[in-house]
Amino acid sequence: MKNLKGLVKLYFKATILLLFTIIFIGCKGNITKDYPDPVTNPECKLMLEGNWLKDPHQIDFDELPKIPLQHAVVSDVTPEGVNQHNYLAYYDNRYWIMWSDGPGVEDRVGQVVKYSTSTDGLNWEKPKFLTSYPEGSEPGSPHYNTRTDEGLRWISRGFWEYEGEFLALASLDEAAGFFGPSLSLHAFRWDKESVTWEYHGVVMDNAINNFPPKKLPSGEWLMSRRSFDYVERGVDFMVGAEERYNQWEVYPVFGTSTHLEAEEPYWWILPDNKNLMALFRDNRKSGYLYRSFSTDNGRTWSSPVQTNFPDARSKFHGLRLQDGRYVLVSNSNYKKRDPLTLAISEDGMVFTKMGYLVGGRHIDYPHVLEHNGYLLIAFAGDAKQKIEVVKVKVSDLDKIGLRNK
């Protein structure tokens, strides 16, 4: 009888231990409580893990694997200008880059959008104007290089290949704050015959996107939107453009002004090719990215949750590689915008590897492009006074795993 009671106690303890392991500790797999799932576990905080990771806010960035790269400077307006909001594209057998170019500090009256092209991603042509100066806000005008609602500025918003046309997006608003009441998103069309950018029209009133539209599995297009009063009302996503470039429906992400101060949203499609994941910078200085999921092509989103992925309150970007992996380039040092790192995920939800790209100075606002076995990563360098590009072999990312263990 004593032996039977002992066996029962042992069985009971083993069962409790097993349940505890499954429910609270978990293993890698969508059936556990500790792993994210768009449908069953959208509130999960896990976004960065690995034997190399102890505390996301105590990462030794000098010990991260250094990613081999080639480097180029596209534009340098040191010491009196600002260069930022850089976006890349590959079109018509050339690399393209656009950015905001302004006087003094960022987003003052008279800021314009410039662009350059390259055949190899490292040797770039002399920068040219994509937009003209905003009306009444050119050099020599009364409010040029100031912050006031009596002057305007352009802000670079990215390239978009749409219905056989190559478009460049830029927002226009008053330069007093973020953002002015006349805020609107505009499109310019590349004309191959005249070799110039021609004004195309308004994409959306009261809107500034973060990155250009991407196509959903449904065939619709999706991009984020901030209205001029987004700080109070939160951020949105815009779905549409099936028939016209300026045809959109707006869907709010509830909680982005209450759970956090959401900035600069970014999203991608998960491997199931139906569910979406969005990430948000948090201006409340939590030091982490927030995450939300959509299971209906961007119409509704789960309540944003603070993840364990560190962030310096800076713009970030990533993409799904042709081999199926996901990369995220960001300022993952929560204390400052230095360095830029590249993290790798197999499923787009949890990142298990991280490598060091560029650092030792203020660098931010990355944008990533994959083409012909390489990543091109553009960013603003030296406190937003340079537009720079690094070129990385995709195959070199495999070496990160050798040290991230």
Residues 132 and 198 in one domain: yes
Closest CA to 338 of 319, 357, 317, 318: 357
CA distances from 138 to 150, 157, 180 (A): 12, 20, 18
Residues 30 and 156 in one domain: no
For the entire predicted model, the pTM comes to 0.91
Distance of CA 304 to the CA centre of its chain: 16
Q: Residue 204, Cβ neighbours under 10 Å: how many?
A: 25
Residues 17 and 44 in one domain: no
Q: What is the count of structural domains for the chain?
A: 2
Residues 31 and 156 in one domain: no
CA distances from 48 to 3, 174, 226, 305 (A): 46, 39, 27, 14
Query: What is the torsion angle, in degrees rounded to the nearest 10, for the CA atoms of residue 94, residue 375, residue 218 and residue 254?
Result: -120
User: What's the pLDDT score for residue 12?
Assistant: 46
User: What's the pLDDT score for residue 401?
Assistant: 74
Strand order in the sheet with 81-91: 81-91, 94-103, 112-118, 128-129
Containing structural domain, residue 1: 1-35
CATH at 240 = 2.120.10.10
Residues 7 and 145 in one domain: no
Residues 125 and 8 in one domain: no
Residues 67 and 147 in one domain: yes
Tokens representing 293 are: 């999921």
Residues 30 and 47 in one domain: no
**Burial of 92 from C-beta contacts in 10 A (0-12 / 13-18 / 19+):** exposed
Strand order in the sheet with 152-162: 152-162, 165-174, 184-191, 196-205
How far apart, in whole angstroms, are the C-alpha atoms of residue 122 and residue 141?
Answer: 36
For 3-44, the pLDDT digits (tens) are 544 544 444 444 433 333 333 333 333 334 699 999 999 999
Full pLDDT tens readout for the chain, 405 residues: 445 445 444 444 444 333 333 333 333 333 346 999 999 999 999 999 999 999 999 999 999 999 999 999 999 999 999 999 999 999 999 999 999 999 998 999 999 999 999 999 999 999 999 999 999 999 999 999 999 999 999 999 999 999 999 999 999 999 999 999 999 999 999 999 999 999 999 999 999 999 999 999 999 999 999 999 999 999 999 999 999 999 999 999 999 999 999 999 999 999 999 999 999 999 999 999 999 999 999 999 999 999 999 999 999 999 999 999 999 999 999 999 999 999 999 999 999 999 999 999 999 999 999 999 999 999 999 999 999 999 999 999 998 975 565
For 308-355, the pLDDT digits (tens) are 999 999 999 999 999 999 999 999 999 999 999 999 999 999 999 999
Residues 19 and 131 in one domain: no
Say which residue the tokens 């990543």 belong to: 375
Residues 26 and 44 in one domain: no
Residues 196 and 312 in one domain: yes
Residues 18 and 111 in one domain: no
Q: Is residue 370 within 8 Å of 353, Cβ to Cβ?
A: no
Tokens representing 108 are: 């003052």
User: What's the pLDDT score for residue 30?
Assistant: 38
Q: Is residue 153 within 8 Å of 102, Cβ to Cβ?
A: yes
User: What's the pLDDT score for residue 405?
Assistant: 55
Three-state SS for 333-386 is: CCCCCCCEEEEEECCCCCEEEEEEEECCCCEEEEEEEEECCEEEEEEEECCCCE
